[in-house]
Amino acid sequence: MSGITDLTWFKSSYSGTQGDNCIEVALAPITIHIRDTKDRTRPHLTVTPAAWSAFVAQPPR
């Protein structure tokens, strides 16, 4: 798999417009990576495509 620096990150469409509640997502062939936009140096969360699909299928609260 490519290194973390090779990932292409994009801001979630559900992120706030004020920049205080933002996440970024990077798609890889067998994993989905999620990180906090405010501090990109911190560890990120990695999930399977099935887990990501279940997460995004939930209605916003």
| pLDDT tens by residue, 6-34 | 889 888 776 666 656 688 899 998 999 99
Residues 6+ apart with CB under 8 A from 8: 26, 27
What is the C-alpha separation between 44 and 27, in angstroms, rounded?
A: 13
Question: Which sign, positive or negative, has the C-alpha torsion 38, 13, 35, 21?
Answer: positive
The mean pLDDT of 32-46, rounded to a whole number, is 88
| The model scores a pTM over 0.75 | no
